[in-house]
Amino acid sequence: MKVRIIDIAKKAGVSAGTVDRIIHQRGKCSLKAIEKVKQAIEELGYEPDLTARNLALKKVLHIACLIPDPAETEYWSRQIVGIEKAINELASFKVKVDVVLFSARISSFREAYDKVLKMQPNGVVYVPLFFEESKKFADELHQQNIPFVLLNIYHQELNPLFFIGQDPIAAGKVAASLCWMGLKDNKKSILVASISKLHQEYSHIESRINGFLQFFTENGLPEVQIDQFHLEIDENRNDSDYETVFRDYLINSPQIRIIYVPNSRAYRIAYILKKHKINGIMLIGFDTLNNNIKLLKEGYIQFLIAQQSQNQGYHSVIFLFNALFIKNDVKKEHFFPVDILNKENIEFYAGRML
Amino acid sequence: MKVRIIDIAKKAGVSAGTVDRIIHQRGKCSLKAIEKVKQAIEELGYEPDLTARNLALKKVLHIACLIPDPAETEYWSRQIVGIEKAINELASFKVKVDVVLFSARISSFREAYDKVLKMQPNGVVYVPLFFEESKKFADELHQQNIPFVLLNIYHQELNPLFFIGQDPIAAGKVAASLCWMGLKDNKKSILVASISKLHQEYSHIESRINGFLQFFTENGLPEVQIDQFHLEIDENRNDSDYETVFRDYLINSPQIRIIYVPNSRAYRIAYILKKHKINGIMLIGFDTLNNNIKLLKEGYIQFLIAQQSQNQGYHSVIFLFNALFIKNDVKKEHFFPVDILNKENIEFYAGRML
DNA sequence: TTGTATGCGTTATCAG
DNA sequence: CTGATAACGCATACAA
Listed by number, the residues of chain B in 212-251 with a beta carbon closer than 8 Å to a beta carbon of chain A are 215
Q: What is the pLDDT of residue A287?
A: 96
The answer to whether some atom of strand C lies closer than 7 Å to the beta carbon of B53 is yes
CB < 8 Å to B52, chain A:
51, 55, 92
pLDDT tens for each residue of B203-262: 899 999 999 999 999 999 888 899 998 887 776 777 777 888 888 998 899 999 999 999
Contact between chains at A342 and B184 (C-beta distance less than 8 A): no
Q: What is the pLDDT of residues A268-323, one digit of tens each?
A: 999 999 999 998 899 999 999 999 999 999 999 999 999 999 999 999 999 999 99
pLDDT of residue A191: 94
Q: Is A23 part of any domain?
A: yes
Q: What is the pLDDT of residue A221?
A: 87
Contact B181 A177 (CB under 8 A): no
Residue A38 within any structural domain of the chain: yes
Q: How far is B106 from chain A (nearest CA, A)?
A: 33
Is B1 in CB contact (< 8 Å) with chain A? no
Q: How many CB atoms lie within 10 A of CB A280?
A: 9
Residue A266 and residue A180 in one domain:
yes
Q: B129 in helix, strand or coil?
A: coil
Residues of A in contact with B174 (CB under 8 A): 342, 344-345
Q: What pLDDT is stored for residue B272 in this prediction?
A: 93
Separation in Å: D9 C1' and A343 CA: 52
The confidence score (pLDDT) of residue A350 equals 67
Residues lower than pLDDT 50 in chain B: 353-354
- Please list, in sequence order, all residues whose beta carbon lies within 8 angstroms of the beta carbon of residue B146, skipping any fewer than 6 positions away: B121, B122, B123, B124
- State the pLDDT at residue A311: 96
Interatomic CA distance for residues A268 and A243, integer angstroms: 8
| Number of domains within chain A | 3
Query: Is B316 found in the same domain as B301?
Result: no
Q: Is there a domain that residue A352 lies in?
A: no
In a domain, A75, yes or no: yes
State yes or no: pLDDT of A41 exceeds 90: yes
Q: Which of residues 87-146 of B touch A (CB under 8 A)?
A: 91-93
The whole-number Å distance from B98's CA to D14's C1' is 45
Kindly state whether B338 is in contact with chain A, defined as any CB-CB distance less than 8 angstroms.
yes
Note whether residue B124 is domain-resident.
yes
Q: A158 CB contacts (<8 Å, ≥6 apart)? A: A128, A134, A135, A138, A150
- Is some CB atom of chain B closer than 8 A to the CB atom of A70? no
Min Cα–Cα distance to chain B from A174, Å: 5
Model confidence over B135-149: pLDDT tens digits? 999 999 999 999 999
Q: Which of A52, A302, A344 sits opposite B170 (nearest CB)?
A: A344
Displacement of CA A173 from its chain's centroid (Å): 18
Same domain (yes/no): A39, A83:
no
Nearest CB to A354; choose among B182, B347, B354: B354
Q: Show residues of chain B in contact with A310, CB under 8 Å.
A: none
Q: Does A335 touch chain B (CB under 8 A)?
A: yes
pLDDT of residue B116: 98
Residues B75 and B196 in one domain: no
**Domain shared by A205 and A88, yes or no:** no
Asked, for residue B122, whether it belongs to a domain, the answer is yes
Q: Do B337 and A352 touch (CB under 8 A)?
A: yes
**Is strand C less than 7 A from the beta carbon of A351?**
no
pLDDT confidence of residue B34:
92
Q: Is B237 among the domain residues?
A: yes
Residue nearest to nucleotide C13 (CA to C1'): B17
* B324 plus B296 within the same structural domain: no
Which positions ≥6 away from A131 have C-beta within 8 Å?
A155, A201, A203
Cα–Cα distance, A270 to A285 (Å, whole number): 10
Chain B environment of A92 (Cβ under 8 Å): 47-52
pLDDT of A260 > 80? The answer is yes
What are the pLDDT digits (tens) for A140-150? Answer: 999 999 999 99
- Given B93, B173, B177, which is nearest A51 (Cβ)? B93
Residues A77 and A14 in one domain: no
3-class SS string, chain A: CCCCHHHHHHHHCCCHHHHHHHHHCCCCCCHHHHHHHHHHHHHHCCCCCHHHHHHHCCCCEEEEEEEECCCCCHHHHHHHHHHHHHHHHCCCCCEEEEEEEECCCHHHHHHHHHHHHHHCCCEEEECCCCHHHHHHHHHHHHHCCCCEEEECCCCHHHCCCEEEECCHHHHHHHHHHHHHHHCCCCCCEEEEEEEEECCCCCHHHHHHHHHHHHHHHHCCCCCCEEEEEEEEECCCCCHHHHHHHHHHHHHCCCCEEEEECCCCCHHHHHHHHHHCCCCCCEEEEECCCHHHHHHHHHCCCCEEEECCHHHHHHHHHHHHHHHHHHCCCCCCEEECCCEEECCCCHHHCCCCCC
Which residues on A lie below 8 Å from B337 (Cβ)? 339, 345, 348-349, 352
Mean pLDDT of chain A: 93
Q: What is the CATH number of the domain that holds B105?
A: 3.40.50.2300
Q: Are residues B240 and B298 both part of a single domain?
A: yes
> What are A137-187's pLDDT values in tens digits?
999 999 999 999 999 999 999 999 999 999 999 999 999 999 999 887 777
**Looking at the structure, do residues A176 and A272 belong to the same domain, yes or no?**
yes
Is A340 inside any structural domain? no
Rg, C-alpha atoms of chain A:
25
Over residues A335-345, the mean pLDDT reads 97
The spacing between the Cα labelled CA in B58 and the C1' in D7, in angstroms, equals 10
Higher pLDDT, A256 or B202: A256
Minimum-distance CB partner of B50 among A52, A92, A352 = A92
Residues A188 and A247 in one domain: yes
Which residues constitute the domain of residue A16?
Answer: 5-47
User: Which among A50, A338, A342 has CB closest to B92?
Assistant: A50
B184 plus B289 within the same structural domain: yes
* Residues A76 and A150 placed together within one structural domain of the fold: yes
Nearest residue of chain B to residue A175 (CA atoms): B344
